[in-house]
Chains A and B, each alone.
Chain A
C-alpha cells in the first residue's frame, strides 16, 4: 500500500477491508447495545402499538374531510396516547415500592391497594363526543390519579382500532393495564381477563342495579370479567319540520309499517331519504339490523344458542318488511356508508332521519343550531314481536398479564362510583348512558327533553346473540357481519329465501353446528 501525502484522495486509498470491517462491527455493536438497552417497563409505549400512526381507516379520512361532528376515527389525532399526569410515555403496570408507611387506600371494595407511585395505562376509544375524551384525559387524571400519586396514561384510539390493539396486547402478554371491551369481547377473551367480581357487584349495587345488556356482555360463566362502563344508545334523529311537510304528521311513527309510509312520503315530497348504513361498520348497521330482525321474532339461534334459527318465517317476514322499508325510505348508496357517513349527511341537510347516538344532536347544538332546533329523537319503531334496541356497550377489563391488578381495580371502582360517573355523563351531555339504573334517573345529566328517549335505552337494549346468552360464536358472527349482509343481499335484489339460506350456511360454519 503506497503511503504518500495525507490528502483526502490518499486517505480514501488507505481504506482497507480491515478498516471497513472494524467500522461496520463497531457501528453494529453500538446499535445492538442501544436496541437491547435496559427497559423498566413490561408494557409497550402506547404510540408504538400496531396501529399507532397509520390512518388506515376509511372512515378516518371520510370524517376528517367531512363534517367534524363525530368521526369514528380521525387520521391524525385518534391514535395517540395522552399522559396528562406524567412526562414519561412508557407506562408500566408494576407499582413501584411505596414509601414505607404511606399506603393509599383505594376503597373498601378493593381492600388496601398501593396506589402511590403506581403507573396505569388505560386503552379506550376516542369518543364521538370530544368532551368525554377530555373528561378522561383531564378530569379523571386531575381528580383521581394526581391526588393518589398515580401516573395514569389514557390512550384513546379510533373505535375500529381498539380491537387490533387489544388482540395484540393479549397475544403478546404485554400492554395496557385496562382494556376497553366492546360488545361481547369479555366472552371472546375470557381466559385472559382478571375476575373483577369483587368490585363489580358493589358497583352495580351502588348504581341501583345493572341493566341486563351490560351484565350479559361482561358476566361470563359466573364471573365478572369486565366492569361495564357505558351503553351508547341509538335513537332516530329526525327533522321534525320535514316530516310535517312531507308526511303531514308531528308524531314519529311507532311501528315499522307506519315508518315505511311516513318515510316514503317524506322521500317523495322533500327529495330526501332516511340515511341508514347497511355495510361493514361496527356501529350503525348492526344497531339497526338486529333490532329490526328481533322485532319480527327472528334471531340467529334459539335461546340455547346451540341451534341455528335464522332460516324461519319470522326472519322472512323481517326481510320482506325491510326491503319494503328500504326501497320506500332510504337509498342504495347507504350500502357503502360507514358510521360517520350519516353524521355528515344529516348535518349537511342531505338526509332527514337517521339512527345514531346523540352525537349528531350534540354536534348540531354548536355547529348547526338551526338543524338542532328542528331535530327530535325517537326510539326504533316496534315490530310484531315488540320493540328492541341494540345499544353499543363497552366496559373495561384487566388482562391477566397485569402483575398487580389492585390499582386497576381501584380505578374501575372509582370510575363506576355514581358520584364520579355522574360527572362523566354531564360531560357527554347525555351521549353515553350508564350501565346501571341510576343513570336513567338521578344521574341523568340533561334537562333537554330531546334526550329523553335515550333514558329507555338501558331497559330495552339486548346483546349480540340474543335471545341466547353472548358467546364467542355470536361475537364472531357479528364480526363477519353475517346478519347485516343477509339484509344487504335483499336490498341488492336477492330473494329472502336465498339470503336466509346463505346466512344459515355461514352461521352453521361459525357456530360449528
Chain B
C-alpha cells in the first residue's frame, strides 16, 4: 500500500506526463514518430506523382481526356520518333561530358582552394556563387553571352581579328566560325557546347566545395610521410589524395548524375531544345509533348525513359561504393 502510494505520488509529481509518454520514451517508436513528417512528404510529393506518372505513361491521357490503358504503346511510339532518339543521344552526351568535366575541374578547384591563400574564405565564397545563383537567371545571362548579335565572345573574336582571319580557312569551315564569330545557339553542335559550358560553370562549385570538405579530412601526416618516402607531387596526389577523397567524389558524382540527366531549366531557357531539336533533353521534350502538345501520356513516357538510366547508374555507383567500403 505504501509502495503503491509512493509510486502514484511519484507519477503525479513528474511534470509533463501525458498518455503518449510511454510511446515517446521508447527510442524506436519515437524515431518513427519523428520520421513520419518526412515520410509523409516523400509519399505525397515523390511516391504519389511517380506512380501517377507511371500510370500516365501507360495510358492515352491528354489534358482534355482521361484516356485509356494502352500498355507500352507510348514507349513504342517514342522509339519510332527520330526526335526522341536524338534526345536520348543528346541527354547521354550532355550528361557524360558535363559530369566528367565538372568532376575534373571541381577536383582541381578543390585542390587550389585547399591551399593556404590570403582571404581564402572570401575566395571560397566567391567560387560558390555560380551554384548559389538561381539557374534560370544565370542561364538568361548566358543567353546574352551566346546571343547571335550581342555575344561578348563573338565581339572579342571580331575585335581581335580572329573571326575574320579564321573564317575563310579550313578550320573556320570545319568549326563553323564565320567572320562574325560563332552562331552559338543557331548551330546544333555549338548549341550543345553552349549548354555544356553553362552547366559546367554552374556545377563546378558544387563539386569543388564538396571535395574540399573531403580534402580537409586528409591528415597532413600522410603527405609528410609520403614526402619523406620520396613521393613526387603527382604520386602524393595519386596514392594519397585520390583514394581518400574517392568516397566523397563518388557521392558527389551520384548527385550530379541524377541532377544533370534530369536537367530542365538550363536547356529550356537557353535553347528551348533547338535548333532543330539538337539540344532537347528528356525533360524539355517531355515538357513540349505533355504541356505544350497536351499529350500527357506520351510526355510521361518520355520522362520515364530516364528512370532505367538513372536506376542503372545509381545502382552501379552504390555497388562500387559498397565494394570500396568492404
Chain A contact residues, CB within 8 Å of chain B: 16-19, 21-22, 28, 54-58, 60-62, 65-66, 75, 163-164, 167, 170-171, 188-193, 279-281, 332-338, 341, 344-345, 350, 472, 475-476, 479-481, 485, 488-489, 492, 502, 505-506, 509
Contacts and interface: CB of A to CB of B under 8 A. Distances in A.
Given A18-B21, A58-B269, A192 B149 contact: no
Contacts of B274: 279-280, 335-336, 481
A143 B172 CA distance: 62
Interface string B1-21: 000000000000001100001
Interface of B: 15-16, 21, 24, 37, 62-65, 77, 80-83, 136-137, 139-141, 143-144, 147-150, 178, 180, 183-188, 191, 265, 268-277, 288-289, 291-296
Contacts of B139: 58
B265 A485 contact: no
Nearest to A509: B81
A62 B144 contact: yes
Contacts of B183: 332-333, 335-336
A189 B269 contact: no
A65 B144 CA distance: 9
Given A56-B268, A334-B186, 12 more contacts: A58-B140, A58-B271, A62-B140, A66-B150, A167-B63, A167-B291, A170-B63, A334-B148, A336-B274, A337-B148, A344-B149, A506-B83
A191 B63 CA distance: 9
A476 B185 CA distance: 24
Contact of A189 (B64, B140, B143): B64
Contacts of B265: 56
A332 B288 contact: no
Which of A55, A164, A332 gathers the greatest number of chain B CB atoms within 10 Å? A332
Contacts of B140: 55, 58, 60-62, 75
A495 B186 CA distance: 19
A333 B148 contact: yes
Contacts of A75: 140
Contacts of A190: 64
A191 B65 contact: yes
Given A55-B140, A163-B291, A480-B288, A16 B63 contact: no
B148 A336 contact: yes
Contact of A480 (B83, B187, B191): B83
B186 A345 contact: no
22 contacts: A18-B21, A18-B24, A56-B136, A58-B139, A167-B63, A171-B63, A191-B64, A280-B274, A281-B272, A336-B148, A337-B148, A337-B186, A341-B148, A341-B149, A480-B289, A481-B274, A488-B275, A488-B276, A489-B276, A492-B188, A502-B82, A509-B80
B16 A18 contact: yes
B55 to A, nearest CB: 14
B63 A509 contact: no
Nearest to B154: A333
Nearest to A484: B276
Contacts of B291: 163-164, 167
Nearest to B143: A58
A319 to B, nearest CB: 14
Which of B81, B289, B292 gathers the greatest number of chain A CB atoms within 10 Å? B292
B146 to A, nearest CB: 8
A462 to B, nearest CB: 20
Contacts of A22: 16
A336 B276 contact: no
Given A58-B140, A58-B269, A333 B186 contact: yes
B294 A21 contact: no
A17 B65 CA distance: 53
A164 B268 CA distance: 14
A56 B149 contact: no
Contact of A56 (B65, B83, B269, B292): B269
A189 B65 CA distance: 8
B36 to A, nearest CB: 10
A250 B7 CA distance: 108
B82 A475 contact: no
A189 B295 CA distance: 11
B294 A280 contact: no
Contact of A16 (B16, B178, B186): B16
Contacts of A335: 183, 185-187, 274-276
Nearest to B24: A21
A509 B80 CA distance: 8
A506 B65 contact: no
Given A21-B24, A75-B140, A336-B184, A189 B294 contact: yes
A284 B77 CA distance: 29
A506 B280 CA distance: 15
Contacts of A66: 150
Given A171-B63, A336-B148, A479 B137 contact: no
Contacts of A336: 147-148, 183-186, 191, 271, 274-275
A363 B130 CA distance: 36
Contacts of A350: 149
Contacts of A21: 24
A268 to B, nearest CB: 15
Nearest to B34: A24
Nearest to A18: B16
A476 B291 CA distance: 10
A29 to B, nearest CB: 12
Contacts of A65: 144
A467 B245 CA distance: 64
B82 A55 contact: no
A417 to B, nearest CB: 29
B270 A485 contact: no
A170 B291 CA distance: 11
Contact of A279 (B37, B64, B275): B275
A189 B63 contact: yes
B149 A333 contact: yes
A171 B297 CA distance: 13
Contact of A472 (B24, B62, B80, B191): B62
A170 B186 contact: no
Which of B147, B271, B289 gathers the greatest number of chain A CB atoms within 10 Å? B147
A506 B144 contact: no
Given A506-B81, A509-B80, A492 B288 contact: no
Contact of A55 (B136, B150, B293): B136
B185 A479 contact: no
Contacts of B271: 58, 336
B163 to A, nearest CB: 13
B178 to A, nearest CB: 8
Nearest to A285: B274
A101 to B, nearest CB: 40
A452 to B, nearest CB: 31
Contacts of A280: 272-275
Nearest to B287: A164
A61 B144 contact: yes
Contact of B82 (A54, A164, A192, A505): A505
A384 B299 CA distance: 39
A31 to B, nearest CB: 11
Nearest to A24: B34
A480 B149 contact: no
B292 A509 contact: no
A187 B288 CA distance: 18
Nearest to A501: B82
A338 B296 CA distance: 26
A280 B150 CA distance: 20
Nearest to B84: A509
- Across the A-B interface, the 10 shortest Cβ-Cβ residue pairs: A333-B148, A61-B140, A336-B185, A335-B186, A336-B186, A479-B293, A479-B292, A476-B293, A18-B16, A191-B64
